[in-house]
Amino acid sequence: MASALATKSRPCCLLCKQLGLFSYSSIRSSSLSSKKSTVTVTDDFRASKPRGQIKGIDLLRNPALNKGMAFTLEERQHMGIHGLLPSAVLSQDIQAMRVMINFHHDLDRYSELMNLCERNEKLFYRVIADNLDELLPIVYTPTVGLACQKYGLVFKRPRGLFITIHDKGHIYDVLCNWTDQHVKAIVVTDGERILGLGDLGASGMGIPVGKLQLYTAIAGIPPEHCLPIMLDVGTNNEEISNNPLYIGLRQKRVTGKEYDEFMDEFMDAVVQRFGWNCLIQFEDFSSNNAYRLLEKYRQKYCTFNDDIQGTAAVVLAGLFGALRITGKKLHENTYLFVGAGQAACGIADLITTAMVKEGTSTEEARSKIWMYDVHGLIVEGRPQRDIKGPKASYVKKGKPIKDLAAVIGHVKPSVMMGASGVARLFHEGVLRKMAQINERPIIFALSNPTSRAECTASQGNNAYIFPAIALAVVACSARHVEEDMFFLAAQHLGALVSQEDLDSGRVYPPISTIQEVTVKIATKLAEWLYETKRAWNYPEPLDKEAFIRMQLYDTSYDYFGPNTWKWPEDATKPRNVPQLDDEAWIPS
Ligand SMILES: NC(=O)C1=CN([C@@H]2O[C@H](COP(=O)(O)OP(=O)(O)OC[C@H]3O[C@@H](n4cnc5c(N)ncnc54)[C@H](OP(=O)(O)O)[C@@H]3O)[C@@H](O)[C@H]2O)C=CC1
Ligand SMILES: CC(=O)C(=O)O
Ligand SMILES: [Mg+2]
C-alpha cells in the first residue's frame, strides 16, 4: 500500500506541480485500486474499537481520526503507520491550502468535498469553516440540489441510514446497525419534496447529509452526534426510478395507513434507540405530510420541521431588518405570498404571531396576508375550490385573478414572498409593478435551488436558523422544540443585523459570520430554555454562552504520540516514611 501511494500519486495540474503538491484524487484512486488491500473498515468507523486501539492503516482510513500527512514522525512510529505516508510532515494549515488549490482545479466540487469528508473529517470541517462564503453553496443549496439529482453518480459510500418501507416491523433493528450510540440529532426525509425539485426518492439523501454537515460546520455539533436518515417508501418519479443508477426502491410511494404506521414506528424506534432527547429534524417532506406529521409529533417527541418553522423564522428575521429600512411596523404592511405551501404558510403563521405581539388581533393580522398558488389568487369564489389545509386561514373574499402582475395591482402588497419552486415567476413586469406601488418594495425569492428561484437575489435561507435551534436543543437537552423558540431566534437574528449590513442592502448578517451568529442565537435560546424550565441538562450553567462554546466541535487534530508528560522528580519517592530499620511502623 505504501508504495502504491508513493509511486502512483502525481500532481493534478501545473500549479500543483510547481508547488510540489499531489492530487488527492490520484492518491485515492490508486489506493482503491490496490488489489492487495485486505483491510476491512466497518461502516461504523467510530464505535468499532476504542480510539487507542485503532492503529495502522485503519487509522488512516478512519476519517474521524485521520490526520493524513499531519501525523508527526513520533506519531507515525507509535501508531504503526510509519512508511504508509510520504515522509513530509504537513501542518493542517498547509493541508487546508492544498485542498483549496485542488478544489479550484476540480470540476466536480461537491464530490471532491465529500471525498475529503470521508478521508479526513477534521480537515473537511476546517476547510468549510475557513471558506464559508465559497463552500456553503456547494455542500448545501444550490449545489446539493444538483448532487441529489445525480445521486446515483455521486454516491460512493453510505453516509447515514437508508430505512425502507420493507423494514417496517424492524426499524429499531436497522437503527441498531448504526453502532454509534451517542446520536443526538437526526435529519430525516422521505425524499418527496427535495428543494423545489420535487420527488427524488432515495436520491434526496443528499439533503439530510448536507443539513447535518451544516450542524457541524455552522453550529459546531460534533459529527459523531449526527445521523442522516432516508425513509425510502418508493418514488412516483418514473424518470429517476427507471434510471439504472437509481439507488432506491423502484416502486410507487406507499401512502395512507401503511405510511403512517411506518412513520409512527420510526419515531418510537428513535426514542428507544437514542433516547427521548434525540432531536429529529424533518426536512423536505411533501406539504400534506409535513404539516400533519408536525402536528402529530411536536408534543410527543423532540422534533421540528425546518421547511415550515425554520424558514418562517429566517424570513421573519429578514423582515425585521427590512422594516428598519422602510420604518414601518409588521402590521402596517400588506403581504402577498406567491406559493401557498408549507414554507409560505409557516412564514405567514409566524408573521401573524409577530403581528399579534405588536397588538393586532389574529383576524386583523390574517387579513393583511394574501396567498397565490398554482390556480391564482386564493379567494372564496374561485373555480378551483380545493382550498384545504393551512392556506385556508388566508382565503379572502374577492374576484379570482390568475395573472400575477394583475394580482399585485389588486392586492397592492408592500411585501412579496416567493415560495413556489417556480423559476422566474418574478419577471421584470412583476418587479416593475412592485416598484410602481412601493417606494421600497420588500421582495423575498426563497425557492431552491437557484434554478428554481423566483428571481435572482441573495437568498434568505433557513441555514441561519436550524443550526442554532439544534445547538440549543442538544446542548440543553430540551424535551421539545417550542414554537416560541422560532420567534425568539428570528428576533435575535434580526437584532444581529448591523446598520452597516442594512446600509449595504443586506437584511441578514454576512455568511462569513454565520458561526458566531449561530452561537449568539443558541445562547439566547439556552437562556430561555433554562428560564422556562425546559432545559434538562443539569446543573444549570451560570454563563450560557461559555456553556454553549464549551461544546463546540474542534477541528484541530488530536495528538497520537506516546504520552510525554513527566511527573516531578520526587513524586514517587517516599517522603517522611520511617526507615526500614525503624520498627515503629510495624503494626502491633
Ligand atoms: N430559502 C429557504 O430557506 C427555503 C426555501 N424553500 C423553497 O420554497 C419552495 C417551496 O417549498 P414548499 O413550500 O415546501 O413547497 P410546497 O410544495 O409545499 O408548496 C409549493 C407551493 O407553490 C405553489 N405553486 C406551484 N406552482 C405555482 C405557480 N406556477 N404559481 C404560483 N404558485 C405555484 C403550489 O400551489 P398548490 O398549493 O396549488 O400546489 C404550492 O402552494 C421550494 O423551492 C423550496 O426549496 C423551502 C424551505 C426553505
Ligand atoms: C432550504 C430548504 O430547506 C429548502 O429549500 O427546502
Ligand atoms: Mg428543506
The closest of 96, 99, 69 to 84, measured between CA atoms, is 69
Catalytic residue selected from 211, 391, 433, 524: 211
Task: Give the cell for residue 570.
Answer: 520526587
Q: Which atom of ligand 2 is nearest to the CA of 283?
A: 3
- Identify the residue whose C-alpha is closest to ligand 2 atom 4: 195
Catalytic residue selected from 24, 140, 291, 557: 140
C-beta of 311 in contact with ligand 1 (< 6 A) = yes
Q: What is the structure's pLDDT at 29?
A: 31
Q: For the residues of 319-350, what is the DSSP string, one character each?
A: HHHHHHHHT--GGG--EEEES-SHHHHHHHHH
- Give CA 397 to chain center in angstroms: 40
Protein fold of 462-551: Rossmann fold (3.40.50)
Cβ 149 vs Cβ 197: under 8 Å = yes
**Cα distance between residue 201 and residue 71, in whole Å:** 41
Q: Assign residue 299 a region: left if phi > 0, alpha if psi is -120 to 50, beta otherwise?
A: alpha
C-beta of 462 in contact with ligand 1 (< 6 A) = yes
**Cα distance between residue 502 and residue 481, in whole Å:** 31
Q: Is 310-452 assigned to CATH 3.30.590.10?
A: no
C-beta of 446 in contact with ligand 1 (< 6 A) = yes
What is the three-class DSSP state of 62?
Answer: coil
The closest of 126, 93, 94, 124 to 109, measured between CA atoms, is 124
ipTM value of the model?
A: 0.99
- Would you call 394 a catalytic residue per the annotation? no
- Identify the residue whose C-alpha is closest to ligand 2 atom 5: 195
Q: Which atom of ligand 2 is nearest to the CA of 462?
A: 1
Instruction: Kindly give the confidence (pLDDT) of every residue in the chain, 588 residues in length, as a single tens digit, with 9 standing for 90 and above.
Output: 222 222 233 333 333 343 433 333 332 333 323 333 222 333 344 445 566 688 888 998 899 999 998 999 889 889 988 878 777 788 999 888 878 876 665 447 888 899 899 999 999 999 999 999 999 989 898 888 888 888 777 776 667 899 999 999 999 999 998 878 899 999 999 999 999 999 999 999 999 999 999 999 999 999 999 999 999 999 999 998 898 888 889 999 999 999 999 999 999 999 999 999 999 999 999 999 999 999 999 999 999 999 999 999 999 999 999 999 999 999 999 999 999 999 999 999 999 999 999 999 999 999 999 999 999 999 998 876 678 889 999 999 988 999 999 999 999 999 999 999 999 999 999 999 999 999 999 999 999 998 899 998 887 899 999 999 999 999 999 999 999 999 999 999 999 999 999 999 899 999 999 999 999 999 999 999 999 999 999 999 999 999 999 999 999 999 988 876 777 777 777 666 666 666 666 666
Q: What is the structure's pLDDT at 555?
A: 96
Protein fold of 131-305: Rossmann fold (3.40.50)
Q: How many A from CA of 537 to the centre of ligand 3?
A: 29
C-beta of 422 in contact with ligand 1 (< 6 A) = yes
Q: What is the structure's pLDDT at 51?
A: 61
Q: Which atom of ligand 1 is nearest to the CA of 307?
A: 47
Q: What is the structure's pLDDT at 428?
A: 95
Q: How many A from CA of 287 to the centre of ligand 2?
A: 13
C-beta of 413 in contact with ligand 1 (< 6 A) = no
Q: How many helices (H) and strands (E) does the chain have?
A: 26, 10
Contacts of 577 (CB under 8 A, 6+ apart): 585
pLDDT tens digit sequence for 56-110: 889 988 999 999 989 998 898 899 888 787 777 889 998 888 788 766 654 478 8
Counting ligands in written order, the one closest to the CA of 417 is 1
Q: What is the structure's pLDDT at 6?
A: 28
- Would you call 140 a catalytic residue per the annotation? yes
Spans of all domains in the chain: 53-103, 131-305, 310-452, 462-551
What is the three-class DSSP state of 302?
Answer: coil
Q: Do domains 131-305 and 310-452 have the same CATH topology?
A: yes
Q: Which residues are annotated as a binding site for (S)-malate?
A: 193, 448, 461
Q: What is the structure's pLDDT at 17?
A: 41
Which among 459, 461, 508 is the best mutation to test ligand 2's pocket, defined by most ligand atoms within 8 Å of the CB? 461
When the candidates are 3.90.850.10, 1.10.1060.10, 1.10.3720.10, 1.20.1370.30, the CATH number that belongs to 53-103 is 1.20.1370.30
Q: How many A from CA of 459 to the centre of ligand 1?
A: 15
C-beta of 459 in contact with ligand 2 (< 6 A) = no
Answer whether 0.80 is exceeded by the pTM: yes
Q: What is the structure's pLDDT at 143?
A: 87
Q: What is the structure's pLDDT at 579?
A: 67
Contacts of 103 (CB under 8 A, 6+ apart): 109, 112, 113
